[in-house]
Amino acid sequence: MNKRKLGNSDLWVTELGLGCMSIGTEEKTAREIIETALDEGINYFDTADLYDFGENEKIVGAALKEVREKVIIATKVGNRWKSDRTGWSWDPSKSYIKEAVKQSLKRLNTDYIDLYQLHGGTIEDSIDETIEAFEELKSEGFIRYYGISSIRPNVIREYVKKSQLVSVMMQYSILDRRPEEEVLPILHEHGISVVTRGPLAKGLLSDKMLEKVSQKGYQDYSRKELLDVLPALKDKLAADRSFTEIALQYNLAHPAVATVIAGASSPEQVRSNARSVRSQPLTEEEVTIIKETSKAATYKEHR
């Protein structure tokens, strides 16, 4: 599988990464999914301390222990579970980040984290303090690089201006093109890679597309609009290839994108996504058709 350089780091990530949130807590099944990803050549595994109260990190760490030096583990910090586990609070403080990383390292059963990401962020945060925490962890050898997971343009701009982050994880797909106008250009200009999530838009951008359309619609699309635009896109683009291929290749067509993170709840889903990423890249004409048929959009909230 092709690899791309992650920002200004020395990490080379496969064009498809495994989003581990959906692998579940049944260890045998979860391990099969991860091992299938390894068999398909995937080297990037994304988790978070929030997932399954930390159990996800444990499963990921155990499954990757024997190949630790060959893979890239990305995890996240900032959401703090309440003691009764009924919810979580936001805590981007230096003291919490520096304590939380120790717990993640223990659960992952590793001495270092390749990419440590802030799991959110607001403009009201003490951003300088958060950056200081990440820089100290980097100098102390606990993490190799850091990034943020955010859809807030104002927060992203602050980190671009003040920090040495190498990546930003964000939702991006044919049905959610909000990053294109405001965020992707500035990140590409500064050599910061984008790690995309939600590329299949909750299954709407798969061959089961019409089965996934809900009454609520999706993002800026109403139900009626989805029932119009999805068949139109398929008719124009997916005659000889799966719609999953079109969706994943659309993300990879943008020069700011380093890797697409797709979740999987079965080994076959991993194999299908891997086939899609190995398929023929979109032509300029196909990208143009997608942009003309779908909606361009901007961020209206979370600025």
The tokens of 229 are what? 């635009």
Find the helix or strand (DSSP H, E) in which 148 lies: strand 143-149
Pick from 23, 47, 14: nearest CA to 269: 23
Annotation marks residue 51 as catalytic: yes
Find the catalytic residue in 44, 51, 116, 146.
51
Determine whether 98 is exposed, middle or buried from the number of CB atoms within 10 Å of its CB (0-12, 13-18, 19+): middle
- Residues 232 and 100: their CA atoms lie apart, in Å, by 47
Query: What are φ and ψ of residue 197, in 5° steps?
Result: -125, 165
Q: State the first-to-last Cα distance of the chain, in angstroms, to the nearest integer.
A: 36
**Residues with Cβ within 8 Å of residue 56, at least 6 apart in sequence:** 20, 21, 23, 25, 47, 48
Beta pairing, strands 3-5 & 167-171: unpaired
Where in the sequence numbering do the catalytic residues fall?
Answer: 51
